[in-house]
Amino acid sequence: MASKEAAANGGKKLPLKEAYKFGEQHSLSLEIDEIRDMEFVWKIKYDSTVRRGYIIDLFERRGLWEAFKKAVWPEGDSPGGRPYVGGGRSAPF
């Protein structure tokens, strides 16, 4: 499981609040609002996990993924952070 592997390697999940702010600072307010306002129907809470995937996808499509990791989430390239993002590539879930 990615969270156990990440925790063992000192990983930190992609910080959603900081990702929202970063996106807004890069003229993505509309897309960020859509992601933030998504509603899901689950038996178990996975909302934040799914939103993180959408953030990764958005930032990759806009060429901001590397800048985001450098500015906000350097752990994304660490052994502990990679399980959260599928080895650094988009992994929405």
Q: How far apart are CA 30 and CA 13, in angstroms?
A: 23
Per DSSP, the residues of 30-70 read: HHHHHHHT-----SS--HHHHHHHHHHHHHHHTT-HHHHHH
Whether 92 maps to a domain, the answer reads: no
Residue-range definition of the domain harbouring residue 79: 2-85
Angle between helices 29-36 and 47-61 (to 10 degrees): 160
Whether 91 maps to a domain, the answer reads: no
Residue 27: predicted pLDDT:
96
The total number of structural domains in the chain stands at 1
**Pick from 56, 61, 45: nearest CA to 16:** 56
Residue 41: predicted pLDDT:
76
pTM: 0.65
Whether 90 maps to a domain, the answer reads: no
Residue 45: predicted pLDDT:
75
Whether 41 maps to a domain, the answer reads: yes
The pLDDT tens digits along the chain (93 residues) read 344 444 444 558 899 999 999 999 999 999 999 999 988 777 667 788 888 989 999 999 999 999 999 999 988 888 777 666 654 444 443
Whether 32 maps to a domain, the answer reads: yes
Residue 57: predicted pLDDT:
93
Residue 2: predicted pLDDT:
44
Whether 93 maps to a domain, the answer reads: no
Residue 42: predicted pLDDT:
73
Residue 25: predicted pLDDT:
97
